[in-house]
Structure 1
Amino acid sequence: MQRDMKQWLRAMIDSDKKKTMPVLSFPAVQLMDVSVKELISDSTMQARGMKLIADRVDSAASVSLMDLSVEAECFGAEISVSEDEVPTVVGSVVSSLEEAQALQVPQVGAGRTGIYLDAMKKAVELITDRPVFAGIIGPFSLAGRLADVTEIMIYCYEEPDMVHTILEKATQFLIDYAKAYKETGANGIVMAEPLAGLLSPDLAEEFSAPYVKRVVDAVQSDQFAVIYHNCGNSTIRTIDSILSTGSAAYHFGNAISMQEMLPLIPRDTVVMGNIDPAGEFRNGTPESIRKATLELMEDCCPQYPNFVVSSGCDIPPMSKWENIDAYFAAVAEYYAR
C-alpha cells in the first residue's frame, strides 16, 4: 500500500506514544516450525512469516529478512547455511584489482534476490495496516563480503583503487535492487551498512557515505524511505558522514550509547535503537529485557521526541518469543505511565 513516508516519519516524532520498530523477521521460523534454510528459500513462507509477526506484535512497521548474504551470493560468493542461524558468506571472490575489474554485476533477480523480491510482493498484499520495509545490505558491507571483511580494511589503505572498483559495481547492483523493491510496492528499505561501523571517519567518508548516498538519491522519495542501519562501534565518530547520506531515518546498534548519539542528530530526524539483540532478545530473560527497555526509554524518550526504541540489530532467529513479547510489553508499559 502506497503511503506518504515523510508524513509517517513526522507523525512518529509528533506522537506522544510511539510504536517500536525492531528489526524482527527471522524469529518467524519458530512460529511456523520451519528452519532458516527453508525460510530463505521460499517466498511464500517469508511473506507468511512477516504476516504472522505483524499479527502478533504492535510494531510501527514490518521488516523483511535482514539476510546480508543474499547480494554477495549473486556476485558468486559462497555462503554457509544452517538450520537455525542467519546465512553467512565464506571466503572471498575478489583479491586483486584485476579481479575487481573483471567482476560482473549480476542481474537483479539472480540467485535468491528473485525469491526475496517475490516475498515482498506477497507481503505488501498481506500486511496493509503498517508500512513494509525490505532489508538490503549497504555498499561497503557488500564490498567487504566480496573481498573478505577483514582484508578489505587493509585494502582501503593498500589497494584503494580495487576497493573503489568493487564499490562501484556493488552500488550499481544495489541501486537496481532497491528500485526493484520499490516496484514491488514496498514502502522503503532498511539498508544495513555495519562494516562501515569499523572505519575511521576519513575512511568512512571515502569508502561508505558517498556510495550510500548514491543509493539514497536514486530511490528515496516521499513514498519510499531509506532507513540507514549501522551497528558498528565507530558510528558516533563518523556521524557527520552518516548524516551526509540524506537517509530518511537512522538506526544504530548497541555498540554505542544512544544518549551520546542522540544530541548529534537533527531533532526532525527519526533515530532508532538499540536493545542488545544477542544479549537480551536471544539470551536474556523477560525480566532483563523489560529492565533494559524501560531504562533506555527513560534515558532517551523524555528529552528526544525523535527517538524510537528498537532492537540494536536484526533479532536472531532463535530468540525466545517470551523475550520478544516482554520487549513489546515494556514499550507499552512505558507509554501507559
Structure 2
Amino acid sequence: MTKEELYKKIENQKKELSAQERNMLYMQGKEVDCLPYSLLSHEALADIWGFTVEELRHSFEAKCALLERKRDLYDEIGISGALGLRGLSEALGSKLIYPKNSEEIVVDPILMNYEKLDSLEEFEVRKNEVLMKKMEEIHRLIDYFPDMPAFGGVAGPMSTAISLRPIELVLRDMKKRPEQLHRLLEFCVSASLKWVKTLNEEFSITSVSIADPATTTDILGYNYYREFSYPYIKKLFDGIMKITNQVPSLHICGHSKKILKDLADIGFNNFSLDNCESLEEIKNLVGNRMLLGGNIDPVDIMRNGTIDDVIEATKQVIYYGSDNPCGYIVMPGCQVPIGTPLENIDALRYAVREYSKGAVKGKRINPFQ
C-alpha cells in the first residue's frame, strides 16, 4: 500500500469512540468499535513534528504543543508524572547528557562506590531540586490541560539500580557484594515509593506504570532474578498498591516468559510484552490473569518496515491477542524509536480500526478472513 492509498483509507474510516470510552467499555466486556490501542510514539512523533528530545525535557511550551497535537490527531492524552528509567538517578546526583535526538545517557553514575549510599538514603522528594521542578511542571500542565488525566511511573528496582551504579558493577555485586546490592535495591524501592506517594498526595494520581528492562532473564537469568529482582518488585508492587489502591502496569523488555507466573502471583494484571516473545505462548501462560499488550516489533517493523509490514504485523497480534481472556491492547513491544516514519505510525492505527471491528474482550477476531 502506498502512502497516498493509506491516507485515503484513513479519511474514509469513521471514528466511533474516544480512547477512554473504548477502554472502559472493552474492560466491561462490551462490544467496541475496535480493540484498544496505543501508538507508544511520543518521542518519534516529536521528532517528526520538529521537536527535539532536549526540548521535550526542558521546554514547557514544547511539551504543551506536542500534547495538544497528539490529543487532536490521535486522541492520546495524559500528563506524565513518570520519571523514566534514569530520572531518579539524575535527581540523586548522577550526571546525564541529553543527545539532541536520542535517549538520555548516564555518563557519571552517583554510586561508583557504596560509601555514597549512606547519604542517598536521606533522600526526600520535597527537598530535591530536580524533582520539585518536575512537580512544578506537572502543576503547570494540569492547569493548562484541566481535563487531561495524569499518571505516574517509575523504573523497576533493578533498572533503577543500574542507573545509579554501572550495570557491570551491579552484576559483579551479585557474586562479590550481595549484601550491599540488597541494600541498594531496598533503597531503590523506598525512593520510588516516595515519588509515587508524593504524586498521589499532590495530584491524586493512582495510575502508575513500572518499566523494568533490567529484570529480563536475558540479563539476570532466573536464579539471579529470584534472588535480586523478585523480592524488590514485590515490595514495589505492594507499596504502590498501599498508596494508590490500584494495580500498577508492568513492562519488561526482552524475554520474560520464565518469570511471568511469578509476576502474576505477585498481583500484576496488566503486562506489555516485547516482540521477542510469542504472544500465543504468553496468552496461554498467564492470559487468564493478565491484560496483555504489545508484541509488534518497534524497530524492524515500526521504524524499518513498510506500511504493509506494519499492517501485517498488526493483523497478526489481533489474531493471537484478541481472544486473551483478560483482554489485549494493540501496541508496539516497546517505545517506537525516533526515525519511525509517520505513515507507519498511522498504518498501525488504520489497521487496528480496520481489522478488529466489533471487538469484545476474550473473543477471537480473525483479520485474515
Report the TM-score range of the alignment, normalised by the length of the smaller protein: 0.7 to 0.9
CA deviation profile, 1:56-78 (whole Å, cap 9, x unmatched): 2245x647367322111112212
Q: Mark the runs of 5 or more structure 1 residues left unpaired by the alignment.
A: none
Q: Is 2:190 the partner of 1:172?
A: yes
Distance 1:67 1:282, change over 3 A: farther
Code of the residue aligned with 1:176 in structure 2: it is K
Corresponding residue number in structure 1 for 2:56:
39
Q: Is 2:172 the partner of 1:157?
A: no
CA deviation profile, 1:35-72 (whole Å, cap 9, x unmatched): 1111111345334423422322245x647367322111
Distance 1:293 1:77, change over 3 A: same
Provide the C-alpha distance between the structure 1 equivalents of 2:45 and 2:319, rounded to a whole number of angstroms: 29
Report sequence identity in percent.
22
Corresponding residue number in structure 1 for 2:227:
206
1:1-337 paired onto structure 2 within 5 Å: 11-12=26-27, 14-16=29-31, 17-30=34-47, 33-59=50-76, 62=78, 64=80, 67-108=84-125, 110=128, 112-124=130-142, 126=145, 128=147, 132-182=150-200, 183-197=202-216, 198-220=219-241, 224-233=246-255, 235-304=256-325, 306-336=327-357
Provide the C-alpha distance between the structure 2 equivalents of 1:13 and 1:165, rounded to a whole number of angstroms: 42
CA deviation profile, 1:204-231 (whole Å, cap 9, x unmatched): 2222232222222223377644111101
Are the counterparts in 2 of residues 273 and 308 from structure 1 also a CA contact under 8 Å?
yes
Structure possessing the higher radius of gyration over alpha carbons = 2
CA deviation profile, 1:132-187 (whole Å, cap 9, x unmatched): 43332111101011111233122222211121111122111100111223332434
User: Structure 2-normalised TM-score?
Assistant: 0.78
Are the counterparts in 1 of residues 54 and 99 from structure 2 also a CA contact under 8 Å?
yes
Provide the C-alpha distance between the structure 1 equivalents of 2:209 and 2:60, rounded to a whole number of angstroms: 19
Distance 1:111 1:32, change over 3 A: farther
Secondary structure of the 1:205 match is: helix
Code of the residue aligned with 2:172 in structure 1: it is I
Q: Mark the runs of 5 or more structure 2 residues left unpaired by the alignment.
A: 1-19, 358-366
RMSD of aligned C-alpha atoms?
2.9
Moved more, 182-191 or 269-278: 182-191
Are the counterparts in 1 of residues 174 and 181 from structure 2 also a CA contact under 8 Å?
yes
User: Structure 1-normalised TM-score?
Assistant: 0.85
